[in-house]
């Protein structure tokens, strides 16, 4: 009697009953495919967070020209820009090529430069 009951939905590897896991849709998957899917989902969520930070950075920097108590918005725009740029560079170094990376770098850089300009103008006045 065979101990193999089904195959993995993703990789088609035969699985014993004890090795079977189920997706949210009810398909049978193996542990390695489940782990791979969870890692990819984490990367997707992280990339979405970085995208939001990158595109919001110029708005943060522009707001620092209007209202900037204790220089927090200027410093925040600078730190945010540095974080996004560092993160995008590390993603490329890990081999993750993001199609929107150039526009995110541009948005983060614009916010970074505007944040520096805002900080300098506030400190000189």
The pLDDT score that the predictor gives to residue 81 is 97
pTM for the structure as a whole: 0.77
The tens digit of pLDDT for each residue in 56-100 reads 999 999 999 999 999 999 999 999 999 999 998 888 887 776 667
Pairing between β-strand 4-7 and β-strand 21-22 as defined by DSSP bridges: unpaired
How many domains, in total, are found in the chain?
Answer: 1
User: Where are any strands of DSSP class E within 9-109?
Assistant: 14-16, 21-22, 28-29
User: From CA 64, how far away is CA 52, in angstroms rounded?
Assistant: 18
Domain that holds residue 64: 4-124
Evaluate the CA torsion angle 9, 12, 17, 20 in order and state its sign.
Answer: negative
């Amino acid at each position: 009697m065979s101990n193999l009951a089904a195959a993995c939905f993703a990789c088609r590897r035969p699985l014993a009953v004890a090795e079977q896991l189920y997706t949210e849709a009810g398909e049978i998957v193996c542990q390695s495919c489940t782990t791979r899917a969870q890692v990819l989902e984490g990367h997707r969520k992280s990339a979405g967070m970085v995208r939001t930070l990158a595109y919001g950075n110029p708005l943060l920097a522009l707001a620092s020209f209007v209202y900037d108590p204790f220089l927090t918005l200027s410093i925040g725009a600078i730190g945010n820009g540095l974080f996004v740029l560092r993160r995008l560079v590390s993603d490329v170094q890990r081999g993750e090529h993001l199609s929107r990376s150039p526009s995110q770098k541009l948005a983060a850089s614009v916010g970074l430069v505007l944040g520096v300009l805002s900080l300098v103008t506030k400190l000189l006045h």
